[in-house]
A = this chain, B = another copy of it.
Amino acid sequence: MARWEPDAESRLRAAALELFGEIGYEQTTVAGIADRAGLTARTFFRYFTDKREVLFSGSGSLEQLMVAGLAQAPVDASAFDVVAAALIRAGEFLSPERRPISRLRNSVIAANMELRERELIKMATLSTALAQGLRERGIGEPEASLAAEAGIAVFHVAFTRWVGKSEQRSYVEIVNDALARLRALMSN
Contact = CB atoms under 8 A, between A and B. Distances in A.
Given A124-B120, A153-B153, A146 B178 contact: yes
Interface stretch (A14-22, A91-99, A154-162): A154-162
Nearest to A185: B80
Nearest to A146: B182
Interface in A156-181: 156-157, 160-161, 177-178, 181
Given A121-B117, A185-B78, A149 B142 contact: no
A185 B120 contact: no
A27 interface: no
A10 B183 CA distance: 43
A150 B153 contact: yes
Given A185-B79, A188-B81, A145 B120 contact: no
A80 to B, nearest CB: 5
Given A146-B154, A150-B153, A182 B178 contact: no
Given A117-B117, A117-B121, A120-B120, A185 B146 contact: yes
A144 to B, nearest CB: 10
A146 B142 contact: no
Contact of A121 (B120, B145, B149, B152): B120
Nearest to A183: B186
Contacts of A150: 150, 153-154, 182, 185-186
26 contacts: A78-B185, A79-B185, A80-B188, A81-B188, A117-B117, A117-B120, A117-B121, A120-B120, A120-B124, A142-B177, A142-B178, A143-B181, A143-B185, A145-B157, A145-B160, A146-B153, A146-B154, A146-B182, A146-B185, A149-B153, A149-B156, A150-B153, A150-B185, A150-B186, A152-B153, A153-B153
